[in-house]
Structure 1
């Protein structure tokens, strides 16, 4: 790529039904400072379609492409498919094991899931419920890998960026209570990032974590949950990364 693409990223905006008018200036500022906006899950506060409608209305102030994944809050009421469809109608690129190319950059996205990190990852052993929990994490990692493979096959020369809600590494959730680490992400999500030579990965979910870390293979990972950005002095409420 001859020119840099400015990617703004944020997660956990938790839009509520009463937020009409709250986010318009925010999206205008993002549009002025970046070329693409990533929203890394928890678009809504309780997964209610009315919250999604409010966000869709607020996004009319955003003049750059928006790419997003859902988070656990967006699943809370079992209306995640409706939330996703409302966002798609608002021209948001919603990714769930899929990929897209925008402004010469390839994006692959999943929600992700928990399961723990490194040698403390939960294993496929024991009760059926435990096996189902682990299988969900495995499936999400496989979906991410599939999306990245699609980019490699169809657009081999574009840089790749991953977007998810759950964390792929432990480094960016440090500061959270250790007892909840298994519910904040999984190292299984890091495997596709390393294997497919991703330029950077963005996630949210861990509100008390760390802004930046790297995988074992050196892939940059950013926790862009809104509370993290505010804690690190990003008063505008978004993080900009150039590819």
Structure 2
């Protein structure tokens, strides 16, 4: 296979860190060669690339290898979480291993730091929102379903608790709030995310949350405490913003700027 040169990065900003976020790429064995330009464009625009799950279509080693090769055009750090499609073949660890060997940091309740910004990542799970959340009552299979939702919420909480950076991002596949799934059929809301994922975000506030999964949802909404949540599913961005590249570009002040803001604000009353 011919070597694909990495693109030159954009001029580094001294005041902000730029993130390009996208999910639901759904790479298949036939995707080879079709995404390099897209990934190069995201790489040129940002200081890091965030991938919000459903990176492959069936979670096979072949698909993961295609994705790893497509990502060769990226010249910035890549951070990812897996999605439900990446589990379809029952070997998510294979997908993770192939992507890790390609330099991708795959988070599953873990954290990393990119240019002073802390990132906590977990897949998340389904279960519904608010009063419509499924409770752990009745048949054992229902209790197992709810247990999985609770486990994923605990993964996110444990990761958020580790962050010590002034600026923080949460990376998910499933939605933590109902606002970003609006536009999907109401009947499938319970399968698109869970309010249990919002609870850690209220205890450990972040600057922004990114997720995918809801292809026909809403691009932006907010948690109960006002944190912006972005649904960056690629099919949604392609449909809602056809004139722009299908990734979400988000900026945060650099660590030095964040520290200066905190100092200027003074002690809390």
TM-score (norm 2): 0.87
8 Å Cα contact 2:118/2:165 also seen in 1: no
Normalising by the residue count of structure 1, what TM-score does the alignment of the two structures yield?
Answer: 0.96
Counterpart residue number, 2:203 = 195
Matching residue of 1:89 = 101
- Counterpart-to-counterpart distance in 1, 2:39 and 2:135: 42
- List per-residue Cα deviations over 1:166-223 (Å, max 9, x = no partner): 0000010011111111110000001111111111000000001000000101111000
Report the Cα offset of residue 115 of structure 1: 0.5
Which of structures 1 and 2 has the bigger CA Rg? 2
Shift of 1:28: 1.1
Q: What SS is found at the alignment partner of 1:5?
A: strand
Within the candidate set 45, 50, 54, 2:57 is matched to 45
What CA distance in whole angstroms lies between the structure 2 residues aligned with 1:73 and 1:28? 24
Choose the corresponding residue for 2:41, options 16, 29, 41.
29
1:16 equivalent in structure 2 = 28
| Count of matched residue positions in the alignment of Structure 1 and Structure 2 | 239
The aligned counterpart of 1:99 is 111
Q: Is the 8 A contact 2:52 2:210 kept in 1?
A: yes
- Cα deviation for residue 157 of structure 1 reads 3.6
Matches for 1:159-198 after TM superposition, within 5 Å: 159-198=167-206
Q: Deviations over 1:22-62 (max 9, x none)?
A: 11111111111111110100000111110000010111100
Structure 1 unmatched ranges of 5 or more:
none
| Gap runs ≥5 in structure 2 | 1-13, 253-269
CA RMSD of aligned residues (A): 1.2
